[in-house]
A and B are shown apart, each in its own frame.
Chain A
Amino acid sequence: MMTGMNSSRNCCICGQAPNTCGRPQNVCGQPQNMCGQPQNICGQPQNVCSQPQNVCSQPQNMCGQPQNMCGQPQNVCSRPQTMCGQVQTREQLMRRINESSFAVNEAVLFLDTHPDCEEALRYYREVSEMRTNAVNAYQRQFGPLTSNDAAGNSWTWINGKWPWEGGC
């Protein structure tokens, strides 16, 4: 899970990861969703993902600022975590993962018995994206949280403290 280099959401039309055209988002003159299809192909405006792409309530890069508000095109900067000049510590990122995971867990249990609740579905999508972004940001800097993300130059799963040792 969550192996992407970028934490931005998938294209809401085609479901593919952004930047699959190999060009930085927002600066290639292509539609934002990068799926090789015009932005409005579905007849809906760009923001059909329930939140405007650049003003989502959670900062996409976990730096405390909304995506693209730091004056740099998203993903162009080679320092995804620090592109707004702020660094999240390991503790801060883990706290964000724990908090968003708790919200996801509770939403899951609620949805199990309220599968048609639109408000709960919206909430689930919101906190789930928050969690995905936090997990991706953590893994980029501090190593894998799942063995799926451990195959680097060596097998990094074995590195670092384990949870019961005070690792996370």
Chain B
Amino acid sequence: MWNYEKRLQYPVNIKEPNAEIAKYIMSQYGGPDGEIGASLRYLSQRYSMPYGEQKALLTDIGTEELAHLEMVATIVHQLTRNLSAEELEAQGFGTYYIDHTAGIWPQSAGGVPFSACAFQSKGDPITDLFEDLAADGTMM
């Protein structure tokens, strides 16, 4: 179960839209090392974790990653809002715009859709922790 709090973990107020930067930032939303992968990684791995301390930690970190996901999506949204199709195309956003307009959709900067293949969940806590170290080493 989750509850929503109507605020960002850290405020985002972008004054100048810039679709070119949005295309790069987007990778942190739905790219191979993005926040959706991070959240699903921890929230999926917790089911095979035998220890209370780590069950709690995986739950709480996986939850916080969702707050990160929202901040990144907000950055992409604010970088692309109120731009015309012509402006978006001129800023290198045309290949995204043709499928999604300025909607938020999880893909990498290179246009690869988000894939669960970006993380692992092996049912073995040691194996999973090593995967966490590779993916998000500064957090664990």
B100 interfacial by beta-carbon distance below 8 Å? no
When chains A and B are docked, how far (Å) is the Cα of A9 from the Cα of B11?
28
When chains A and B are docked, how far (Å) is the Cα of A109 from the Cα of B138?
14
Interface residues on A, range: 20 to 34
Q: Which residues of B contact A144 (CB under 8 A)?
A: 6
Q: Which residues of A contact B7 (CB under 8 A)?
A: 94, 97-98, 145, 163, 167-168
Closest to A108 in B: B60
CB distance from A73 to the nearest CB of B (A): 32
B4 touches A166 (CB 8 A): no
Q: Which residues of A contact B60 (CB under 8 A)?
A: 105, 108-109, 112
A146 touches B4 (CB 8 A): yes
The residue from A102, A146, A166 contacting B12, defined by CB atoms under 8 A apart: A166
A94 touches B61 (CB 8 A): no
A113 interfacial by beta-carbon distance below 8 Å? yes
User: Which A138-164 residues have C-beta < 8 A from chain B?
Assistant: 144-148, 157, 162-164
A19 interfacial by beta-carbon distance below 8 Å? no
B90 interfacial by beta-carbon distance below 8 Å? no
Closest to A115 in B: B53
A65 interfacial by beta-carbon distance below 8 Å? no
B6 touches A146 (CB 8 A): yes
A58 interfacial by beta-carbon distance below 8 Å? no
B64 touches A105 (CB 8 A): yes
Given contacts A109-B61, A112-B60, A146-B3, contact A163 B8 (CB under 8 A): yes
CB distance from A105 to the nearest CB of B (A): 6
A145 touches B9 (CB 8 A): no
When chains A and B are docked, how far (Å) is the Cα of A113 from the Cα of B8?
26
When chains A and B are docked, how far (Å) is the Cα of A112 from the Cα of B51?
11
Q: Which residues of A contact B9 (CB under 8 A)?
A: 98, 101-102
Interface residues, chain B, with chain A CB atoms under 8 Å away: 3-13, 53-54, 56-57, 60-61, 64, 70, 73-74, 77-78
Interface residues, chain A, with chain B CB atoms under 8 Å away: 1, 94, 97-98, 101-102, 105, 108-109, 112-113, 115, 144-148, 157, 162-164, 166-168
What would 21 A/B residue contacts be, using CB atoms closer than 8 Å?
A1-B3, A94-B7, A98-B7, A98-B10, A102-B10, A105-B64, A109-B57, A109-B61, A112-B54, A112-B60, A115-B53, A144-B6, A146-B3, A146-B4, A163-B70, A164-B8, A164-B70, A164-B74, A166-B12, A166-B13, A167-B7
